[in-house]
Amino acid sequence: MRKLIVMALALFSHLAWSQANNDKVEADAGTEKESPWLLAPTVSSNPKLGNTLGFLAGYLHKFDEQSPSSMVAIAASTSDTDSTVAGMFGRVFFDQDRQRILAGHARGKILNEYEDFLGTGLNINTTDDLTLTLFRYLHRVQGNWFLGGQLIRTEYTIEGDDPFSKLILQQLGLTGFEGNALGLSAERDTRDNQNSPYQGSHTEIHTNHYRDAWGSDVEFDVVTAKYAHFARITGRQVLAARFNTRITADAPISGYSSLDLRGYTRGEYLAPHVATFEVEDRIKLGNRWGATLFAGASCLFGEKARCDNREDWYPAVGAGITYQLKVEERMNVRAEIALGKHDNYGFYLQFGNAF
C-alpha cells in the first residue's frame, strides 16, 4: 500500500503542477475562461479489492445562466486483483434549472477476498459481475423542490471462486438477481454550488419497486433517504454533515443494504437496512489546496442486526488533502485515508467530494 500511496501522491502533484502551468499559460494569453474538459486520475486501496488505478474524463457545458453546469463523463479502473469497472454518466441541468436529468451505465467484474464474510467468520472468495443502468428525471415544482421518477436496471451475479465458497453462497441464498425497478424521486436543494457547497442543504428521497410485471425475477421495495447540510464557519472553513438511510422490504440477500462509508468495502457487511451519519471539516489552505477531516458511523439493522448492538455499528475516521481542478465550478480532486474497525481501511484518490 505504501508504494500505491507514493504513486498516487505523485499523480496528485503532477496534476496540480499541470493545472498551475495551464493557468499560467492562460493568464499570459490574457484569457480567464476555464477549459470545459476535465481529466483526473483515480486510485484506491483496501484489503478486499487490492490496489486500483483508473481515470475520469469529462466535458462541462452550461445551457443557460440560471442552470448549474452540466457534465458528461466516462470512467474506468482496474486493480491488481484483476477487477475491472467501467462506465459513463451524465448530469444535466437545463430550462433555467427547472429540469434535471441524471443518467448512467456501469459494468464491473470485481474479485473479493473476505476474511469474515457477513460476520460468519468464514474466508470466502467471490467474483461479482454487475451491470447497472440508471435514469432519473426531476422537475422543479415549487421553490427549491423537485419531483420526478427514476428507472433502474440491475444485472447482478455473485459466484464463489472455489467449491467451499460456492457452497457457502448457496447456503446463504446469495446468488444475485436480475431486475427492473421503477420509482418516485423528490429533492429539495438549497446548496449554493452543486460540487463544493459553502452553505445550504440537499434532501433526497427515492423509491425503487422491483416487480415481475416489468421484467424482474424478484419482487421487493427499496426506500432511500439522504440529507446533507453545509455551513460556512469561517472564510476558509466549511462544516459538512450528512445522514443517509436505506430501507428494504422483502429483499433477497443480494438486494440488502451495505455500508456507505469510507474505510469499508461495499458488499462485505449486509443487512436489510442501514443508517449512516458523517461529519466532515473542509479547510481551505490556499487558492486551490485544502484539507479534510472526517468521522462517521453506520449501523446495519434488520433481522438479527440491531442498532442497540455494538457489533452492528461500524465507525470510521479519516483525513485528506484536496486540490481544486476547476475554480469556477469548485470541482475538487481529493486524496484521503480512512480507518474502520476490524482492520478495515481505505486509501482514495477520487474526483469530487465524498458528499
Task: Kindly indicate the confidence band of residue 123, based on its pLDDT and cuts at 50, 70 and 90.
Answer: confident
pLDDT over 90, % of the chain:
72
pLDDT for 158 equals 85
Least confident of 24-33, 147-156, 171-180, 204-213: 24-33
Instruction: Please name every residue paired with 49 in a beta bridge, in sequence order, or none if there are none.
Output: none
Which of 108-112, 193-197, 286-290, 350-354 has the lowest average pLDDT? 108-112
Average pLDDT, the chain: 89
| Rounded-to-integer distance, Cα 31 and Cα 15, Å | 21
Q: Check pLDDT > 60 for residue 297.
A: yes
pTM of the model: 0.87
Q: How far apart are CA 172 and CA 47, in angstroms?
A: 23
pLDDT for the residue numbered 19: 53
Q: How far apart are CA 162 and CA 221, in angstroms?
A: 32
Average pLDDT over residues 64-72: 96
For residue 112, what pLDDT is reported?
77
pLDDT band at 29 (very low <50, low <70, confident <90, very high): very low
pLDDT given for residue 10 in this prediction:
52
Find out whether 287 and 234 touch, Cβ atoms under 8 Å.
Answer: no
Cβ 178 vs Cβ 152: under 8 Å: no
Looking at residue 32, its pLDDT comes to 62
Q: Is the pLDDT of residue 190 over 60?
A: yes
- Partners of 337 in the beta sheet? 319, 347
Confidence of residue 247 (pLDDT cuts 50, 70, 90): very high
What is the rounded CA–CA span in Å between residue 233 and residue 236?
8
Q: What is the DSSP code (8-state) at residue 34?
A: P
